Amino acid sequence: MFERIYEEELTPIQRRILHRILQGKSNTAIRGDVTVWFDHKVYSGSERDKLPRSKRTILEGLESGKKLMDQSNLSHHLRKICEQFELIDLQEVIKQFIKYRRQLVSYETLEQFELLQTTQFPSGATNSLYYEYRHPIEEKCESYIKKVGEEAILLRIKAPAQMGKTSLINRLLHHEYIKIIKAKVVYINLDDADEKVLNKDMFYRWFCANVSNQLGLDINDCLEIQWKPFLGNNVNCTNIFDKYIFPGCQNIILLGIDNLHRIFPQPELQDFLLWLRTRHENAKNNQIWRKLAFILAYSTDGYPLFQLNYSSLYNLGYSQTLREFNEEEIQNLSLKHGLKWEFSQVKSLQKIIGGHPFLVRLAMYHISHEEMTLKEILNKAATNEGIYSNHLGRLLKIIRDSHLTESLKKVISSSTLVQLDPIETFQLYSIGLVTKKDNKVEPRCQLYREYFTTFI
């Protein structure tokens, strides 16, 4: 909807006004800019000659300093822009551009419309102002979920920890299109599940109760009565959806399951992954089950420990692996944090930590709060006194628990790409410690090389 309005429904004058607002121009400057009211192309001889006489007269008047009625009615145009986007004021319009076309919004505009909010410590899902799009990942995910109801939909979002999976799943669940089709949204975060729930006797009923409660259905009594142990959990779970959840909800259901990796260490819950696969396959030929679309998000950190326990997810549905931020995205994020960084500053940060979303935001948080300078952060980055110590300590534990110490030593001690056993390569890549090129690997960033050289 945003793209359609922006590309097709604004008049040429509205588009030129909007572009200047996004560039931080004042209303006075916009009124006095004759190229707002006539496209700059008409100033070339050939284009000028094509104008009707009445238009040429207006243009000549503009050039001589005469005011147009349009210039006096700037507020009218601004109001129409807001109406086109169905938003109450320009600040809300600019928020949409921050979300969908961040590259068009200047730092001056963020200042002018008071959108440079106090940054919060990076933890969990990122709010909309500080979310940074990673093209084309988001577009591909959005295009896929727009097929909900027409096709069997199961989207898998995977990446190492702290790469932005929860932020993306939340954005997709609350996408504008989902509101337009009036789909019901259910969000289940397995981090909310107590350890006592993560067993075959309780998990499936907990799952069904969670889904029904969020849909406003009271099926708790039915769960107790209709659950037949001799049928097995997968069949019982399917029956609850068929008999109670689908009849009770006529809308499309978009079901997000976050932190699905909590199931991987539980051998007796591997059947739930199989249930997801069979339900998705069934939906390809079953219109009723096509009403239920899945978005799954899970961390790949645990692959080395539980590589046999996620095989039911292999090649299932449509998957997207989140990548790091590139230079342009880091630059955009710095603006959102109120930091007027030069390209050289982006490069110096990227040289040490790459484009890891959490590590980038953590640095910007400390700098924007004037707690540390970029130089101070980078000098202590690979030490236990630096801001990344918790992140690095968590990775160190995973490496030791997974018995990958020797494999990682080979990588960090080499100045060139290293060829490892394919399983070792897969495991180190899944944790997020290496990048791959032609079946060989190297440390993902200088931070990891320096830290693990010291501590393993």
- Partner residues linked to 257 by β-bridges: 188, 296
Q: What's the pLDDT score for residue 247?
A: 96
Query: In the 8-state DSSP scheme, what is residue 43?
Result: G
Planar angle of CA 449, 455, 456, nearest 5 degrees: 85
Mean pLDDT by 10 residues, the chain (456 residues): 84 88 82 69 56 64 53 76 87 80 74 59 66 91 95 97 94 90 96 91 95 93 90 97 96 97 90 96 97 96 63 89 95 85 94 97 91 95 96 95 95 97 91 94 98 96
Q: Where are the domains of the chain?
A: 1-113, 136-321, 327-455
Q: Where are the alpha helices (DSSP H) in 261-388?
A: 270-283, 303-306, 327-336, 343-353, 357-368, 374-379
- Partner residues linked to 318 by β-bridges: 155
Spatial separation of the C-alpha atoms in residues 89 and 199, rounded to whole Å: 50
In angstroms, the Cα distances linking 83 to 77, 78, 80, 94, 215 are: 10, 9, 5, 13, 33
Look at domain 136-321 and name its CATH class: alpha beta
Whether the bond into 12 is cis, omega within 30 of 0: no
Q: What's the pLDDT score for residue 44?
A: 53
Q: What's the pLDDT score for residue 70?
A: 47
Residue 407's H or E segment, with its range, is helix 405-412
pTM: 0.76
